[in-house]
A and B are shown apart, each in its own frame.
Chain A
Amino acid sequence: MTRMLIIGAGPAGIRAAETLVAVGLRPQIVDEGERAGGQIYRRPPPGFTRPPRALYGSEADKAAALHRTFDGLVRDGQVDHHPRATVFALSDGVAHIVQEGTVRRIAYDRLILATGASDRLAPVPGWQAPGVYSLGAMQIALKAQGVALGRELVLAGSGPLLTLVAHQLRKAGANVAAVLDTAPLSSQAAGGAQMALARPRVTLRGLAVRAGLGRLYHPGATLERIEADADGPTALHWRDAAGRARVSSCDAVALGWHLRAETHLADLAGARFEWSPIWHQWLPVTDAMGRAGDGLYLAGDGLRLLGADGAEIAGRLAATACLRDMSLPAPNPGKDLRQLARMAWFAKGVARAFPWPADMVRNLPGETMLCRCEGVTVADARSALALAGPEANRLKALARVGMGRCQGRYCQLAGAEIVADETRRAPCETGRLRAQPPVRPVPVSAFLQADPDI
């Protein structure tokens, strides 16, 4: 029987698994989470009591349906679920995973990657201080742990998550001092019109959330620096849309500019990449169904940043493509393809409304930390370019931008912007950081444990 492996048990991975199971296949599914659901539909540990409505708001029914579907597949033995397991390498049809401190291998014939996304970060002077987090971190802490990451929070960046997280935190009783959106109203209006045409209800819901923030929300903000003492942030210095200097005192800051696709495994699996001017990042190339190569399928935010609804559809489509390639009975993808096109149209509006802050990054003071992992500054990177030349992988080798433990996940795009600025070219001409295994750090002790093939 063909060995099917799905990596990631979020909306895309769960729907892919369900589609394969429907024709009698029994996929293995590896996921970093304790319980399936992914980040957006992440479930708290057992014993937590808030109902889905409190955790997922308007999306509670979708979350509950996904969790129910997956729990049913596991209960009935229709999938082989490996939770708390990290895939750190892929080679020659074998996934290398670390689970419970032990390295294991899973051989596969066909692979569906549903690896999701994380926050797209840009440096702000002072962001290395303890108490500066990603926006996603604020949401995960609230949803999965019931904690706020500080007593006085400033949220800054851009994208749908910015206002949503602010709303969720306030509803839970956390103290949000300011919500600073670097996107000016002009770009928001242009992108928003497209969003409203594609998905009017979702767009209206977003506008209502923002209206609820009232005077806490500031569009067109320019972030200047995070003031911090040894204990963490004390204030965020910024300018409002009219250029007036403002200071918001705080003990925690969350930053994020929409999302960055998690593509390290797609790279190791051999997917081809292209620079996407819309999402301002390198993304894997597939056909409309998610085929990236022979026996390789991609779905969800790790392929295109369409959000949870789009991920469910893309997961079904990737599995459908896989079934067709195996000459097995497959569902008709017509409706899913039409819906996905609508999601993509909406997402392009989102990308236009809440752009990457290219000018902010290009104007960062030299002493700003570019790489949080190893403390490489903007000035370090600029001066290394004389030796490295305008290429990301050479800059990584010489200045260690992208060499640290996060493997470029949080510095790659800002690094590309600095290279582009210093060498007067477009970010897409600065080279793409190649993923290297292990794509997550693995303790050496894990390799010393027993090493059974699953």
Chain B
Amino acid sequence: MRPAAGRFVRVAETETRPRLTLSFDGETVGALEGDTVLTALLTARRSLRKAEFGPERRAGFCLMGACQDCWVWQEDGVRLQACRTPVREGMRLRSRAPDSWPDTGAERPS
């Protein structure tokens, strides 16, 4: 039985860092200051988004800004690279394009 919690597990540096919150697809996600967006989202969730060219979901790959697997949407429409972006209090992120965007082929609400 697989745990329903996030994919990443904190193994160090959990003691002294202030807590933050952000939102992902409208749900509140807790984070620690110094987390990347990727760390924050995947300690709480199993994946970031759906792949553009396949049925699988994606959760980052290289963590050094090279593979481009971890781009997520912000509510204003500009995407960010989750592995290279530090979290900020109150960030509003999405796993898919804002509904106002033209169809990108990404997963859409039905």
B residues 8-66 touching A (CB-CB < 8 Å): 8-17, 33-36, 39, 43, 46-48, 51-54, 56-66
Tier of interface size on chain A:
35 or more
User: CA–CA, A134 to B62, complex, Å?
Assistant: 5
Distance of A151 Cα from B43 Cα, bound (Å): 11
Flag if B63 contacts A142 (CB, 8 Å). no
Q: Give the residues from 89 to 142 in chain A that come closer than 8 angstroms, CB to CB, to chain B.
A: 101, 118-119, 128-134, 136-137, 140-142
Question: Is B108 at the interface (CB under 8 A from chain A)?
Answer: no
Least distance between A262 CB and chain B CB atoms (Å): 7
Kindly state the separation between the CA atoms of A228 and B2 in the bound complex, as whole angstroms. 12
Q: Would you call A145 and B35 a contact (CB within 8 A)?
A: yes
Q: Known contacts A47-B34, A148-B8: does B13 contact A86 (CB below 8 Å)?
A: no
Interface mask (A210-236 → B, CB under 8 Å = 1, otherwise 0)? 000000000000000000101110100
CA distance A230 to B46 in the complex (A): 10
Task: Tell whether A70 is near chain B: CB-to-CB under 8 Å.
Answer: no
Q: Is the CB of B62 within 8 A of A118?
A: yes
**Given the complex of chains A and B, what is the CA–CA distance between A130 and B51 in angstroms?**
10
Measured CA separation A351–B34 after assembly (Å) = 36
Are the CB atoms of A133 and B51 closer together than 8 Å? Answer: no
Which of chain A's residues has its CB closest to B12's CB? A146
Contact B78 A445 (CB under 8 A): yes
B86 on interface, CB distance cutoff 8 Å = yes
Contact A130 B57 (CB under 8 A): yes
Is the pair B78, A148 in contact by a Cβ cutoff of 8 Å?
no
Which has the most chain B C-beta neighbours within 10 Å: A133, A137, A147? A147
* A410 adjacent to chain B (CB < 8 Å): yes
- Chain A residue at smallest Cβ distance from B63: A137
B51→A140 contact, CB < 8 A: no
Which B residues are CB-close (under 8 A) to A86? 65
Whether B68 pairs with A47 at a CB distance below 8 angstroms is no
A262–B67 Cα distance when bound, in Å, is 12
Measured CA separation A86–B51 after assembly (Å): 25
* B12, B47, B54 — most chain A CB neighbours (10 Å): B12
Determine if B64 and A118 form an interchain contact, defined as CB atoms under 8 angstroms apart: yes
A133 touches which of B10, B17, B54, B61 (Cβ 8 Å): B61
Give every chain A residue within 8 A of B13 (Cβ-Cβ): 44, 48-50, 145-146
The reply to whether the CB of A243 lies closer than 8 angstroms to some CB of chain B is no
- Near A by CB (< 8 A), chain B positions 78-102 give 78-79, 84, 86
Contact: A137 with B7, CB < 8 Å?
Answer: no
Q: Which of A141, A374, A375 contacts B39 (CB 8 A)?
A: A141
User: B109 in the interface, Cβ–Cβ < 8 Å?
Assistant: no
Q: List residues of chain B with CB within 8 A of the CB of A137.
A: 60-64
| B98 CB, nearest partner CB in chain A, Å | 14
Check if A342 is an interface residue, CB within 8 A of chain B. no
**Contact indicator A252/B61 (Cβ below 8 Å):** no
Residue A34 lies at the interface, judged by CB distance under 8 Å to chain B: yes
- As a 0/1 sequence over residues 2 to 38 of chain A, the CB contacts with chain B under 8 angstroms (1 = contact) are 0000000000000000000000000000001010000
Chain B residues in 8 Å Cβ range of A101:
78
Distance in angstroms from B59 CB to nearest chain A CB is 4
Please provide the chain A residues from 384 to 441 with a CB less than 8 Å away from any CB of chain B in the complex.
Answer: 404-406, 409-410, 440-441
In the assembled complex, how far is the CB of residue B110 from the closest CB belonging to chain A, in whole angstroms? 17
Contact count A vs B, C-beta below 8 Å: 148
**Cβ A34 vs Cβ B86 within 8 A:** yes
For residue A45, CB closer than 8 A to chain B, the reply is yes
- Decide if A174 is an interface residue (CB 8 Å cutoff): yes
- Residue ID in chain A nearest B8 by CB atoms: A147
> A405 CA to B17 CA in the complex, in Å?
34
Chain B residues with CB under 8 Å of A230's CB are 56-57
Interface pair B59/A147, CB less than 8 Å apart: no
B residues less than 8 Å from A206 (CB atoms):
none
CB distance from A379 to the nearest CB of B (A): 14
A410 to B69, CA, bound (A): 11
Q: How many whole Å from A112's CB to the nearest CB in chain B?
A: 20
Looking at A32, A146, A374, A410, the one whose CB has the most chain B CB atoms below 10 A away is A146
* B61 CB contact (under 8 Å) in A32, A372, A440, A443: A372
Distance from A324 Cβ to chain B, minimum over Cβ atoms (Å): 33
Is the beta-carbon distance between B2 and A45 smaller than 8 angstroms?
Answer: no
Contact check, A131 vs B63: say whether CB atoms are below 8 A apart.
Answer: no
Q: Pick from B7, B11, B52, B68: contact of A174, CB below 8 A.
A: B11
Query: Is A39 part of the contact surface with B, judged by Cβ < 8 Å?
Result: yes
- Evaluate contact between A136 and B11: CB separation under 8 angstroms: no
Contact mask for chain A residues 49-76; partner B; CB cutoff 8 A; 1 contact, 0 none: 1100010000000000000000000000
Q: Please, how many angstroms separate the alpha-carbon atoms of A151 and B2 in the complex?
A: 10
Q: Which residue, of B3, B46, B68, B84, has the highest number of chain A Cβ atoms within 10 A?
A: B68
Enumerate 28 A-B pairs (CB-CB under 8 Å) in ascending A order: A47-B16, A49-B15, A84-B84, A86-B65, A118-B64, A119-B62, A128-B54, A128-B56, A130-B48, A130-B59, A136-B63, A137-B62, A142-B11, A146-B12, A147-B39, A150-B8, A151-B9, A172-B12, A231-B47, A369-B54, A405-B68, A406-B68, A406-B69, A410-B67, A440-B65, A441-B68, A443-B78, A443-B79
